[in-house]
Structures are given as structure tokens and as C-alpha cells.
Amino acid sequence: MIFTTTTEYAIRGLAELASRSETEPVLLADLVAGTDLPREFLAKVFQRLVKAGILHSAKGRGGGFSLARPGSEIAVMDIVVALEGQQHFGGCVLGLDKCSDTMPCPQHDHYKPVRQRLREYLASTTVSDLGVALREKKRLIAKQNAEPADDADRTQTRAAIAKE
């Protein structure tokens, strides 16, 4: 992935959260159940997201984590910026400083639209979108598991993953 594992966990954690509830608090223990998200580590990451104003947390009975604002108003970009800083996608491909729009290197002009495309995706994709996507995904997996074990089909899927 193009992010640190910290950011990846954050994205996945928020997707899990949004897939369960966008309003009601969810316990971290419930959130990681059935996933391979490391509970203790995710707790640290969520702490940072609370400080960043993306998550809300409550202690004690009835507590847990919930989104600090509607999931449709939290872009994946917000998560990335909160955890990796504003400049994560900045800079030119050559890693040169002194590259800018006013004094671009030729590559700069080629790379900029690529970076822009990535940014747009991250800015327009919200935590709600991830929640919906994850719910749908889990539905598909459940459905597949319910079907009589078709190993040929599963093998084909694995091969497709490897190629991806």
C-alpha cells in the first residue's frame, strides 16, 4: 500500500466502525472481532484520531468509539492528513525541493495530474462510502461461504489476487 500500516489500520478501523453504526458508539473489542486488526495498536491509532477530531470516544459502560461527525463528511484524505501530515502527497517525483508550479521540472508536469487524480479519489471517498463498501463486501463473502465449497472457484480468486 501507499500508506503506513498505521494509516491502513485507521482506514480499515473506520470502515469497520462506519459499517456498524455511524452514530452509536462501538466498542473497540467488538470492532476488531472477526478481523485481524490488532486491538491494542488500533487503540493507539484511534486515540490520535480522537485528538484530530475525527472520532469521539466515551469511557465506561455504554462507551466506545463513534464518528465525531457524519461519515459522509469524513474523507479518507482527512485520515491520511491526520496521521501522515499534509505533505504526504506533495513534492515532485524526483524528490527535488525547488520544484513548484512557478518553476516546474518537466516531470513535474507529467506527475502532477497523476497525483491530482489520487488526491481527488482520497478527497471524494468518505468513511460512509467505506462503510457501505465493507458491508457489501462482507455480504458477498458470507454468501460465498454459504455456497457448497467450490475449490476451483476459490483458487481462481486467489490467483486473481496474486496478479492484482
Taking CA atoms, 69 is separated from 3, 15, 60, 62, 161, in Å, by 24, 14, 21, 19, 35
Nearer to a copy of itself (CB atom), residue 15 or residue 55 = 15
Q: How far is the CB of 26 from a copy of itself (least distance, A)?
A: 17
Q: Which of residues 5-24 bind a copy of itself (CB under 8 A)?
A: 8-9, 11-12, 15
* 163 touches DNA by CB under 7 A: no
Nearer to DNA (CB atom), residue 60 or residue 148 = 60
Q: Is the alpha carbon torsion for 158, 162, 163, 164 positive or negative?
A: positive
* 40 touches DNA by CB under 7 A: yes
Name every residue whose Cβ is closer than 8 Å to that of residue 55 and which is 6 or more positions away in sequence: 14, 17, 46, 49, 65, 66, 67, 68
Residues that bind DNA (CB under 7 A): 4-6, 9, 27-29, 38-41, 43-44, 46-47, 50-51, 57-65
